[in-house]
Amino acid sequence: MDTPVIGVLALQGDVREHLAALDAAGVRAAQVRRPEELDGVDGLVLPGGESTTMSKLAVLFGMAEPLRERIRSGLPVYGTCAGMIMLADKILDPRSGQETFGGIDMIVRRNAFGRQNESFEAAVEMPGIPGGPVDGVFIRAPWVELVGAGAEVLAEHGGHIVAVRQGRVLATSFHPELTGDHRVHRYFADMVRDAQ
């Protein structure tokens, strides 16, 4: 089986860290900025950053609708933090004009864990990932208020949902790419291989 190519949406956010984590997870990583670059990837990561800015840049660069279409047609996608917000079918408290790509039947609350100075690191139990808890970095992190019937809760922290999967779409509130623990990226890489 060929080594999958996983893109990182490179409009804004912690792109470099995801590229390094994907490389460590044993896949080929590529930056994706334009719609035609979507055709060259087997999966896509939506990085953390600022979800309102990401939404506006996706529209400006002509990426919003092509991304929605690729997600609807089964492209495996993994979103961290702001990327989780972008994968929600609904945002509880959207900024004016903020759009999402959708893909997971969930309602997300932006900045739910607090402001920048309230950021923290915590061990997160994810039963589907062997080797014990994963290290999660929570930076102005969202949480999931509610999931629909099609979405599977993978992890909670402090009584709040922080990891969700629906089919080929995965989202975490936290940033595993900032920890040196690449198990979540390997889990996503396996999702991409399974879809090939």
What is the number of helices (H) and of strands (E) in the chain? 5, 12
Q: Is 156 a catalytic residue?
A: no
Q: How far apart are CA 128 and CA 179, in angstroms?
A: 19
Catalytic residue among 18, 175, 182, 185: 175
Q: Is 177 a catalytic residue?
A: yes
Neighbour count for residue 24 (Cβ, 10 Å): 15
Q: Is 157 a catalytic residue?
A: no
Q: How far apart are CA 56 and CA 84, in angstroms?
A: 16
Catalytic residue among 18, 99, 177, 182: 177
- Closest by alpha carbon to 103, among 71, 55, 73, 70? 71
Catalytic residue among 18, 81, 157, 182: 81
Distance of CA 91 to the CA centre of its chain: 15
Place of tokens 């979507």: 38
- DSSP secondary structure, 101-150, as one string: ---EEEEEETTTT--GGG-EEEEE--TTSSSSPEEEEESS--EEEEE-TT
So which residues are the catalytic ones? 81, 175, 177
